[in-house]
Amino acid sequence: MKSGEGKVVCVTGASGYIASWVVKFLLQRGYTVRATVRDPSNPKKVDHLLKLDGAKERLQLFKADLLEEGSFDSVIQGCHGVFHTASAVLFVFDDPQTQLIDPAVKGTLNVVKSCAKSPSVKRVVVTSSIATALYNGAPRTPEVVVDETWFSNSDFLWEQKMWYQYAKTSAEEVATKFLTENNIDYVVMNPAVTIGPLLQPELNGSSNLVLNLLNGSETFMNAAFGWVNVKDVANAHIEAYEDGSASGRYCLCERVIHFSELTNILRRMYPTLQIPDKCADDKPYMQTFQVSKEKAKTLGIEFIPLEESLKEIVESFKEKKFVSL
Ligand code: NAP
């Protein structure tokens, strides 16, 4: 018997990059999935979900918006589990409060309040980010290992105007506080920059970081980021949901590398492509650091190597005609 047979779970923001893979793997495991989207009539948001194996029998679409109070009440009612993945993932915006912070913080509170109203909900999986761990004032150097005990300082992020990071850190704080106070079991996923094949037809923010390197950009960012494959992220969500002994946060990161190294890998893989070989500034390269894999391993995650993830995302771009190679 499959692990999800007879179980109903909700995935918020189901049309998104990570959530689409979560939905795919949940359907594969036999779950009935209640998928929330803002506009179920938009084929670009739902067609790829409706085509998934098992969707005809076990996928139900619901309209819900993070910013509407009570929007998730009816869909969560009767669910065994909730995967709260919806959040605005934007790096260009006019007003961080309304575009990023409110959907993340008010939206998350809205979803967890709906969970509290449904006694059927046995566990909530919150999609957070490694951004909620990295910014605590401690230096990050190649010997430093970031792990689940690291927490970003939201005051620092506010002062620095790091709005996405601030929104995710605040959202994780409100979610864990509310869920703890209301005695609702939860786990938190803290993925690094997520790449790999796209199921959805439209480009998402983290995929765009790689696409930018393939579309004629002359420079790369002076930044060292952690990277992880979207399939590992989705699997970790479901393993953490199913494993009764799972608890707390899970850092999900295969490797931290600087863009100079990432572009070297891409150049070796695609020698005919124009990949930038100049850094965007003259400052010393931002240092790398490590992210602990120990806790993720307890979920059975053996991370897909970054080289493979890059290959997969570039092939996906080709297939979707985002690049002509
Ligand atoms: P994505 O493809 O942009 O998906 C985000 C989803 O959130 C979209 O489906 C969107 O729904 C939904 N959403 C946004 N605003 C909403 C609102 N007001 N009401 C309801 N839904 C709303 O992003 P992703 O990369 O898959 O990210 C998914 C989650 O993982 C986010 O919580 C993100 O912070 C986290 N994360 C992502 C990465 C990464 O590198 N990708 C890394 C760490 C953590 P519509 O389709 O209806 O617009």
DSSP state of 41: T
Query: Ligand 1 within 6 A of 202 CB?
Result: no
Per DSSP, the three-state class of 166 is: helix
Q: What pLDDT, on the 0 to 100 scale, is given for residue 305?
A: 98
Question: What amino acid positions are annotated as catalytic residues?
Answer: 168
Query: Ligand 1 within 6 A of 18 CB?
Result: yes
For 115-125, give one letter per residue: b (16+ CB within 10 A) or e: bbebeebebbb
Q: What percentage of the chain reaches a pLDDT higher than 90?
A: 97
Query: Ligand 1 within 6 A of 85 CB?
Result: yes
Span 254-271, mean pLDDT? Answer: 97
DSSP state of 65: -
Count the neighbouring beta carbons within 10 Å of the beta carbon of residue 273: 13
Expressed in angstroms and rounded, the spacing between residue 143 Cα and the centre of ligand 1 is 32
Burial of 306 (0-12, 13-18, 19+ CB in 10 A): buried
Span 306-319, mean pLDDT? Answer: 97
pLDDT digit string (tens) for 62-112?
Answer: 999 999 999 999 999 999 999 999 999 998 889 999 999 999 999 999 999
Question: What are the residue boundaries of the structural domains of the chain, listed by start?
Answer: 8-320
Contact between 38 and 87 under an 8 Å Cβ cutoff? The reply is no
Q: Which residue has the higher pLDDT, 90 or 301?
A: 301
Calculate the CA 110 to chain-centre distance. Answer: 19
Query: Ligand 1 within 6 A of 175 CB?
Result: no
Q: What pLDDT, on the 0 to 100 scale, is given for residue 312?
A: 98
DSSP bridge partners of 9: 33, 81
Span 283-300, mean pLDDT? Answer: 98
Expressed in angstroms and rounded, the spacing between residue 111 Cα and the centre of ligand 1 is 14
Q: What pLDDT, on the 0 to 100 scale, is given for residue 66?
A: 98
CATH architecture entry for 8-320: 3-Layer(aba) Sandwich (3.40)
- Judged against a pLDDT cut of 80, whether residue 325 lies above it is answered with no
Q: Is residue 194 within a helix (H) or strand (E), and if so which, with residue range?
A: strand 193-195
pLDDT digit string (tens) for 135-175?
Answer: 999 999 999 999 999 999 999 999 999 999 999 999 999 99
The Cα–Cα gap between 159 and 6 comes to 48
Residue nearest to atom 25 of ligand 1 (CA): 17
Q: What pLDDT, on the 0 to 100 scale, is given for residue 216?
A: 84
Percent helix, strand and coil across the chain, each rounded to 5? 40, 20, 40
Residue nearest to atom 27 of ligand 1 (CA): 18
Angle at 69 between CA 201 and CA 131, to 5 degrees: 55
Query: Ligand 1 within 6 A of 168 CB?
Result: yes
The Cα–Cα gap between 317 and 323 comes to 6
Place of tokens 């409060």: 97
- Judged against a pLDDT cut of 80, whether residue 30 lies above it is answered with yes
- Judged against a pLDDT cut of 90, whether residue 276 lies above it is answered with yes
Q: How far is CA 168 from CA 80, 109, 256, in A?
A: 25, 12, 20
- Judged against a pLDDT cut of 90, whether residue 114 lies above it is answered with yes
For 21-40, give one letter per residue: b (16+ CB within 10 A) or e: bbbbbbbebebbbbbbbbeb
Among 239, 253, 264, 267, which residue's Cα sits nearest to residue 305?
253
DSSP string, 88-147: ---SS-S-HIIIIIHHHHHHHHHHHHHHHT-TT--EEEEE--THHHH-SS----TT-EE-
Contact between 187 and 251 under an 8 Å Cβ cutoff? The reply is no
Span 9-36, mean pLDDT? Answer: 98
Expressed in angstroms and rounded, the spacing between residue 158 Cα and the centre of ligand 1 is 21
Sequence-separated contacts (24+) of 175-181 with Cβ below 8 Å: 175/84, 175/108, 175/109, 175/112, 175/124, 175/126, 175/128, 176/126, 178/109, 178/112, 178/113, 178/116, 179/112, 179/115, 179/124, 179/126
The Cα–Cα gap between 97 and 295 comes to 33
DSSP bridge partners of 8: 32
Residue from 21, 89, 110 whose mutation best tests the ligand 1 pocket (most atoms within 8 A of CB) = 89
